[in-house]
Amino acid sequence: MSNELIDKLNSKIEYAEKALNAATCDAEIENMRVEMIGRNGFIPAISAEMKNIPPQDKPEFGKAFNVAKNKIEALLEEAKERLKAQDRKKSEKFFDVTLPGRKWALGGKHPVSKVIDDCVAIFRRMGFIVAEGPEVETVYHNFDALNTPSDHPSRDPQDTFYFGDGRLLRTQTSTVQIRYMEKNEPPVRIISPGRCFRRDTPDATHSMNFHQIEGLYIDKNVSMADLKSTLLYFGRELMGEDTQIRMRPHFFPFTEPSVECDFSCIMCEGKGCRVCKYSGWLEIAGAGMVNPNVLKNVGYDPEKWSGYAFGMGIERIAMIRYRINDIRFLYENDMRFLEQF
């Protein structure tokens, strides 16, 4: 009786071995698994017959049963591995050389970043270094230290974003003048590009956030001539070697005297066109000689040190350079616009 069963086991193993070696897909292996060790399969059926075996034959049969069961499980595992390895080989071998290559989408610089980079490069050549300051500022750094009287219109909550706790969003990069001088002894030669915020109603030329680049030069015996020659060199590097500049008297609390600096129009070379509103000049920078009160506020001796400062709007330069007629294009992140630069 147990011999008969052992024969049955052996022939079943042989059968499973043949079938599994020939299997070419997962479904065939799965069918064999169900047939052999599934709940209603061969192995559970044989195991159910165990109780009919005479006690003296049980050890021998039990051994044979375990061997068979392990063997079948091993065969199933082997077959699965073999199919997997075959699949791997196939995909390694197959390489379709006619497939189009993978495209790496290359990003480009935003026009505002391009103008910042160009301006920084020009001032670097003149020995300026880049300094940075926070966008969330104190009222002190944005106004008081810059000699701005308490009734100055720029302090109006209609123009400035206040947090109500002595902090605000900086309205100008001139804050960095103060921050730098507080921490460093003269001489000073810095530029500081960065984001500023004003409570402007957005239109073609106004945005609530925009960028400026600030310059500060402090040394002994600095004069308006130094300021003018620096801005002229900058204008020619940025806009072309025929660029002319002119200065008009103006007022800023932190400079005295103060000027507006115009560059000759790059579109019409000063002849007059729509871009320069037929004046031949483009208003580019606010500038002036640093007010002695500002120097005192940071602990510099105004008898010993003097200097100039200037500030310009980056978007305005970008708009002129790339002929963009609405500042809002710069902030809409429309790819059709950005891809042109």
Summarize as ranges the residues that interact with ligand PHE (CB under 6 A).
172, 174, 214, 252, 255, 286-288, 309-311
Q: How far is the CB of 335 from ligand PHE (least distance, A)?
A: 31
Closer of 14 and 159 to ligand PHE (Cβ):
159
CA distance 187 to 93: 68
Query: In the bound complex, what is the minimum distance in angstroms from residue 310's beta carbon to ligand PHE?
Result: 5
* Residue whose entry in the numeric block shows the structure tokens 């294009």: 329
Using the minimum distance from each CB to ligand PHE, give the nearer residue, 2 or 258: 258
Nearer to ligand PHE, 147 or 264 (CB): 147
CB of 273 to ligand PHE, least distance (A): 25
Identify the CA nearest to 112 among candidates 335, 325, 313.
Answer: 313
- As measured in angstroms, the least distance from the Cβ of 299 to ligand PHE is 20
Q: Could you give the CA distance from residue 262 to residue 231 in angstroms, rounded to a whole number?
A: 10
Nearer to ligand PHE, 61 or 310 (CB): 310
Q: Which is nearer to ligand PHE, 213 or 238 (CB)?
A: 213
181 touches 258 (CB < 8 A): no
- CB proximity list for 30: less than 8 A, separation 6 or greater: none
Q: Is the peptide bond before 257 cis (omega within 30 degrees of 0)?
A: yes
Q: How far apart are alpha carbons 56 and 58 in whole angstroms?
A: 6
CB of 277 to ligand PHE, least distance (A): 19
Shortest distance, CB of residue 214 to ligand PHE, whole angstroms?
6
* SS3 category, 261: strand
Query: By C-beta, is 69 or 211 nearer to ligand PHE?
Result: 211
**Residue placing its CB nearer to ligand PHE in the complex, 61 or 252:** 252
Instruction: Compute how many other C-beta atoms are within 10 angstroms of the C-beta atom of residue 107.
Output: 6
The dihedrals phi and psi of 190, each to the nearest 5 degrees, come to -125, 155
List, in sequence order, every residue forming a beta bridge with 194; answer none if it has no partner: 212
Mapping DSSP onto H, E and C, the string for 246-296 reads EEEEEEECCEEEEEEEEEECCCCCCCCCCCCCCCCEEEEEEEEEECHHHHH
Show the DSSP H helices in the chain as ranges: 2-22, 26-37, 42-49, 58-93, 111-125, 139, 175-183, 224-239, 292-297, 314-322, 335-338
Q: Shortest gap between Cβ of 254 and ligand PHE (angstroms)? A: 6
* Comparison of 133 and 288: residue with beta carbon closer to ligand PHE: 288
Question: Closer to ligand PHE at the Cβ: 133 or 311?
Answer: 311
CB of 166 to ligand PHE, least distance (A): 20
For residue 269, how far is the Cα from the chain centroid?
Answer: 37
| Min dist. Cβ of residue 252 to ligand PHE (A) | 4
Neighbours of 174 (CB within 10 A): 29
Q: Do 216 and 177 form a contact (C-beta atoms < 8 A)?
A: yes
- The answer to whether 290 and 269 have CB atoms below 8 angstroms apart is no
